[in-house]
A and B are shown apart, each in its own frame.
Chain A
Amino acid sequence: MKLQRRDALRIMAACMADWWLPRQLFAQRISARKKPERRVIVVTFGGGVRYEDTMAPEGWVNIPHLASELVPQGLVYPVARHEGLTGHFNSTGALVTGTRQNVDAYGSEAPVTATIFEQFRKEHALPPEEAWVIATNKSFGLMGGSKLRAFGDPYSANVLLPKQLLIKTIKSAVSTTSGPGVEDRRALAERMMLALDEGYEGFGWRVFESERTLGPELRASLAKSLLDYFNDPAAPTSGDELTFFMTKEIMNRFAPSLLVVNFWDIDIAHYGAFSLYLDAVRRTDRLVHELWQHVQSLPAYRDRTTLMVVPEMGRDSDVAGNGFANHRSGDESCRRVWLVALGAGVPKGVGSQRPIRTLDVAPTVAEILGFKMMECEGRPLPELAF
């Protein structure tokens, strides 16, 4: 029986979780205190979306779940602004620190100020599995923490980059002669490596070598799943689907109090195909909705979770900037975003025209989870109940 795309993803996610998650718990064990009652999940429309393509009335068609189902359950700030550099790492870095960042755009440097993950874990003396970054963007490996002496690795979030993990898995799975029938195994392996080894903007990232190998049975099963997925012309081309499955896996296993999820398929806009950009926006909208449904299905999250959804940044305008394919002009369209909050402590069906900044997300998370935020540029959103 042919495996469907989602089956394949589930198998991949399960395999990778078994394989990877225990290794992620390498960070310094800290005698755990009681978990906070509240949970926070921040989801980014990574890659950046334009206001006109999403939260403006003409854009609602691209975010049907947010516009018609989630916004009525929560609070929307239609006038939000991203300040600082309009690259991916620095904009998300600003989101998780509350302070504008100016580090290497391709992720070779950590944020220079303390992240919410470090401050949260340190103040509450929580173990690493309490804070996670799950990102499609391959350059987010250092998003989990600063290198500040008082914080840094002992308090950083676990960072999971499912696309990278998939590469390791595939590499292991197809590196032998046994397995599914493929005429040119080497070519297939190379192709798969490439398929998963690439973002849309950066170059030069290299696959880590596997440190463990899969058992033969699991390997064959995984290879078959991947092959089916790979050969299914109806399957969407999405790293975000995998990010979503891994997010659910982590929620099921660890119920972390603080999760930042970066969807990033939207950055396919760099290819210049407007339809593919809109497809990715709609997929992100659907995945956010499914994630919220998953929150409702888990006792550890239901009624105690605040979800914040926010674009990483905008993208260039047509007239003043360089169009949807780009996000570096720094024009207003690159900066105009929005924020939707829902769940615990959030008034329902409310909109606030008060201008806010994406920098405000970090101190708001601090208020919700009850830790003291170091001095930063952002300010907590008072409309949310803490």
Chain B
Amino acid sequence: MQFNATLIGDAAMLARTHGETLSHLPATVHAFILVELQKWPTLFQPEQRYQRALLKHLSHLPKSSLDSATAGVSRIEGQAGVNKVTDRHPAGFQDAAQALLRQRGLQVAWRSEVDGFFRTIDPALEAQLYPADAPRRLVVQIYGSGIAVQRDKLWSRFKGAGVRVPLDLGGTKGTDPFLRQLLGAQEDGGGTPALLTTALAPSPLDAWLIEAHEALHSLFDAGPTTSRAAPTGLSYDRLRPYRDELTRALNSKIQSGVESPQAFAAYARSLQIAPPAGALLYSADILVAFVRDVLLTGNGTLLMNNTFVEWAAVQAIKRAQPRVLITRFGVRDKLRPFSSMVMFSQPRPSDHLPSVQDPAGSFVDVEQLSYYVWLNAEKTPAYRGKTLYLFLAEGVDEMLAIRSDRPAATASGLPPARLPDVYATMARWLDSPLAGHAGQPIEPLVSGT
């Protein structure tokens, strides 16, 4: 099937180079790839590498193998009458084809066949894209102060995984000192955290901070402002003006009426609203597009700070695949009366309703959400088997550490570690220089590296 896809640069060249292969694919798969190529400027490098590898792999397959791999999808398309769809724009075709599949009750079968198709080719792509000697990765998840941590239930979802490491907080009180010691920043508040600067490759996209509030971002406020020194950062609180503007636009659309969920989604995609200057640590266009997608496509991300953290983290893991990811969950507000039904509206001065925090509910939420971040990372080949996961809660003298190459739970028996030791452990794991730092790596966590 021929499509009218608007492609530029590398994407256009890829489509030309592999045009014959593309035209040989089932129409729904063909359209899917073109839709991805159309997004080329807003795809992260790992996503672009995947598309290149995918097309190259498919082009190298013998025709009979390709036919065999896609036979199930083609059969379902035939049953649904997808060839009768006349829209030649890939996205429009996709919508129409999905509607047809739904009408014929074939969507589940189609999805199953597409999953099967990718299951046959993904192992080869993963072996190529994520070799065993790829750099190690680090994911740190922090429960911010104020969350009502229940020690007997802490990290209870991770039954049978990792090791509990006792911590000697040494009288460290407050969020800022805790984060500074953990991340290797100078105590006086002047320097940026060493873990996120010297340890990393030049791109800010190699290290991400995603948080409900802004304590992590504050570590960079007094430091150098060059992109070399700043990681990628998303703060739910700092994005408030942007969120407010988005919700006003969506609210206004709801009030004027929309025809369907699809029409509403199309309207949301068409919004040209950007975060204000200073809301992002790194404000490249690709990040602006990412934030917009997170807020418009993630259920609850406009409304719940910790949901935003989880969804953004999972999307970053799947798409940008940063080498270092640090999440910091926070306390969310209680829902106001009826406000659970107030999607896309905002409190007005006349409401006279003070915000009330929900520390206990927040703990229940973040236990589940931090687990989902870990689950999704382990489902992603870039992280599977190569990642050290650390879970900390501010003010709690214990952490959970999971090495994804040795995930089974082990009895701790370790002596208490200081926060500088945790920093040294992370630095060693990332092969970053430790000179001048007083901490000692926790050997069982880094041994054999």
Contact = CB atoms under 8 A, between A and B. Distances in A.
A106 B372 contact: no
Contacts, number: 150
Interface in A257-293: 265, 268, 270-276, 278-279
A230 B343 CA distance: 16
B300 A273 contact: yes
B311 A272 contact: yes
Given A233-B354, A278-B364, A204 B341 contact: no
A37 interface: no
Interface string B88-109: 0000000000000011010010
Interface in A198-235: 198-204, 206, 229-233, 235
A271 B300 contact: yes
A330 interface: yes
Interface string B311-325: 100000000000000
A223 B372 CA distance: 43
A272 B307 contact: yes
A273 B353 contact: no
A254 to B, nearest CB: 28
Interface in A173-194: 182-184, 187-188, 190-192, 194
A323 B307 CA distance: 12
B199 interface: no
A207 to B, nearest CB: 10
B365 A196 contact: no
Contacts of B351: 187-188, 191
Contact of B299 (A232, A235, A325): A325
Given A102-B105, A272-B369, A274-B368, A237 B348 contact: no
A45 interface: no
A279 B349 CA distance: 28
Contacts of B263: 204
Given A273-B332, A274-B365, A204 B299 contact: no
B356 A195 contact: no
Interface residues of A, number: 52
A220 B8 CA distance: 62
B345 interface: yes
B108 A183 contact: no
A1 interface: no
Contacts of A271: 299-300, 303-304, 307, 340
A318 B365 contact: no
Contacts of A270: 299-300
Interface string B327-352: 00000101111111111110011111
A239 interface: yes
A195 B345 contact: yes
A340 to B, nearest CB: 25
B70 interface: no
Contacts of A200: 299, 340, 343
Contacts of A187: 348-351
B396 interface: no
Given A237-B336, A270-B299, A182 B350 contact: yes
Interface string B401-433: 000000000000000000000000000000000
A94 B255 CA distance: 32
Interface of B: 102-103, 105, 108, 111, 251, 254-255, 257-261, 263-264, 298-301, 303-304, 306-307, 310-311, 332, 334-345, 348-354, 356, 358, 360-362, 364-365, 367-369, 371-372, 375
Given A237-B340, A273-B300, A323-B368, 15 more contacts: A182-B350, A194-B254, A194-B343, A196-B341, A200-B340, A204-B261, A233-B334, A265-B340, A270-B299, A272-B365, A274-B364, A274-B367, A275-B360, A276-B340, A318-B375
20 contacts: A102-B102, A102-B103, A183-B349, A184-B350, A187-B348, A188-B351, A190-B255, A200-B343, A204-B259, A206-B257, A233-B334, A235-B337, A271-B304, A272-B299, A272-B300, A272-B307, A273-B300, A274-B365, A276-B335, A318-B375
Closest 4 CB pairs of A and B: A272-B307, A184-B350, A271-B300, A275-B361
